[in-house]
Amino acid sequence: MDVPDLLESASLLVPAETATENDITVQDIWDYLAHDEWEIALGLLEELGDGRSIPPVFWEKLAEAAEQLRMERSAAWCRWRCAEIRNGVIRAELTLRPAGEGRRTTPISGAGVLRPMWDIGDLSPTGERAVSIAALWVENMP
């Protein structure tokens, strides 16, 4: 599929009454698509998908469109959101000390690269403490 078709088919998966914080709706996205403003439409569709029950195929279509537009970070974000829907997600607001104030000496990579270990109370088959490895994406930060 080409980019406009991917974006159009993704927009059909968004409930009509859905709107962003700025009252952008699917109808607004159709206007951008009609004027070949694909990157704007993609960004707005990402916003419409935030915090809502959107099927994984929505994010798959957006990821493919972003790849075709060579928007690598956007494609990675859409693949990430698709994985969240399939695997579940825990959202947390973290406040990190600046690099150098704690033990960390460099900024963390915020685009899904960091894999911290979390102790969520699980036990191994032998009854010992078991840690899980999380994937971490820092939203709204470079």
pLDDT score at 99: 67
pLDDT tier at 26, thresholds 50, 70, 90: confident
pLDDT score at 50: 77
Please measure the distance between the N-terminal and C-terminal CA atoms of the chain and give it in whole angstroms. Answer: 30
pLDDT tier at 88, thresholds 50, 70, 90: confident
Mean residue pLDDT across the chain: 84
Please count the other Cβ atoms lying within 10 Å of the Cβ belonging to residue 37.
14
Mean pLDDT of 83-95: 79
Using DSSP bridges, classify how beta strands 132-133 and 117-118 pair: parallel, antiparallel or unpaired: antiparallel
- Report how far residue 140's alpha carbon sits from residue 123's, in angstroms, rounded to the nearest whole number: 34
Find the DSSP H helices in the chain: 3-11, 26-34, 38-49, 56-68, 72-87
What is the model's pTM? 0.74
